[in-house]
Amino acid sequence: MEDNSVINKFQKKINVGDKEYVIRVLPAGVGMKMGLRLVKIVTPLLGGVMDDLSSNSDLFGEDDTFTKLASKMVLVLEEEQLDEIVHSVLSSAVIIEKGKIPRDLDFDNDFMANYGELIEVLAFALKENFSSIFQGKGIRHHLAGMVTKVLG
């Protein structure tokens, strides 16, 4: 029997409207590969996100940073790249609706004409899976070092 605290460590929940979405974070091998792809994709997008934020805000401390990244990703990614990322982070998601039995997320039907909810759930899944890449000693630290070297 698995310890519930171990199970809960790998499951993250977000409430959107009257639904609760439960995502499982990606295993390390899959997450690392996807994280590296995201760094290659997201790094150019960071300029746009940074432009949207005030000059004195803490980029990765803002609650909506990952929402902005998710929104920009949807606009600029090739269809295949977007499909791979979205389906990877949401592939094992479960949806819980009040009064109903929890069920696997049916991506096409659950988000049909409901793209705002898709962006919200995607932003949450990206944050839960990849925020450590962009915080602390992750890309943020390395970008700050590069900027310091360039600006002298």
pLDDT one-digit tens code per residue, 90-118: 988 999 998 899 999 999 999 999 888 99
pLDDT at 147: 46
Domain of residue 63 covers 4-151
In the structure encoding, which two tokens stand for residue 95, read together? 């949806």
Helix axes 115-134, 28-52, angle to 10 degrees: 100
Q: Indicate the pTM of the whole model.
A: 0.66
**What letter represents residue 63's amino acid?**
D
Q: What is the pLDDT of residues 56-81, one digit of tens each?
A: 555 445 556 666 666 666 666 666 77
79-85 long-range contacts (CB < 8 A, ≥24 apart) are 81/37, 81/41, 85/34, 85/37, 85/38, 85/41
pLDDT at 1: 45
- Counting the structural domains of the chain, the total is 1
Contact at 8 Å (CB) between 126 and 70? yes
Helix axes 65-76, 79-90, angle to 10 degrees: 140
Contact at 8 Å (CB) between 92 and 21? no
pLDDT at 37: 77
